[in-house]
A = this chain, B = another copy of it.
């Protein structure tokens, strides 16, 4: 992957509005694997310098998406110590290490979905907001278990439509709502469940704007609000506060008017006190990680 190809890949990742944080993190790891294999470098040290530079650019490209930073940090932790290898050995090992983290990410996501599926069981109506890889895998596991879905469109890009399309294929009965109708329909659900872009150190949730409203609607409707994601989405205190990314306002299709500022912030923060269960690849918790022990799925 030469410089021009890398810059294009970086721009694609920066501008991506449809994939979740985990998928984008794996895309970054794929870019690093390709870079390790064939980016121009005269020796091992030059290759490692180039990989470190590309890692840092990728890591900074999506500041709201913690798994990008976490997975790239894990990868670099294994790669930076390869300075004693030959160039060809270093290329192979750095690429293989990226692919290992891609697999670990996928595996953690699947296991988190499995934990949620066991916890929720069948004969339930779930309400969700936005599109999450974990939530898609959860529904895949629950199809045939008499579950129903309430899905918000998730403005501005309506990725809820993609989820509805998948649920339709799996023959899971689904009702599609405007985001504004989440308060009206939450009482018809048994459980509210979303994925995450990041989890803050205190257990608060960074996710697509509107998630906070769903959490408030769930509390109002007295149904549990759950977040299901891999632990790679956990931010450490050292990472500092998350930046809530703002996207181009032309996505909204709003009129351009003097004195009217159109806002298109993609993420909001749901405080931990509005979250009833945190589900990751290791279990289901009624307190934020890492201090808590899993709860039994016997509710």
Contacts and interface: CB of A to CB of B under 8 A. Distances in A.
A260 interface: yes
A261 interface: yes
Contacts of A168: 257-260
Given A165-B255, A213-B216, A178 B179 contact: yes
Given A216-B216, A220-B216, A257-B168, A262 B210 contact: no
Contact of A174 (B181, B182, B216, B259): B259
Contacts of A175: 260-263
A154 B209 CA distance: 15
Interface string A200-231: 00000000111011001101100000000000
Could you tell me the dominant secondary structure of chain A's interface residues?
mixed
A155 B183 contact: no
Contacts of A262: 175-176
Interface in A230-245: 244
A295 interface: no
Interface residues of A, number: 50
A179 B179 contact: yes
Nearest to A178: B155
How many monomers of this chain does the complex have?
A: 2
A257 B164 contact: yes
A182 B217 CA distance: 13
Nearest to A179: B180
A12 B51 CA distance: 65
B182 A259 contact: no
Contact of A209 (B155, B181, B220, B254): B181
A30 B42 CA distance: 84
A71 B32 CA distance: 69
A208 to B, nearest CB: 8
Contacts of A153: 155, 252, 254
A93 interface: no
Q: Which of A161, A177, A257, A260 has the most CB of B within 10 A?
A: A260
Given A184-B209, A216-B213, A217-B216, A176 B265 contact: no
Contacts of A161: 254-255
Contact of A164 (B129, B209, B260): B260
Contacts of A257: 164-165, 168, 174
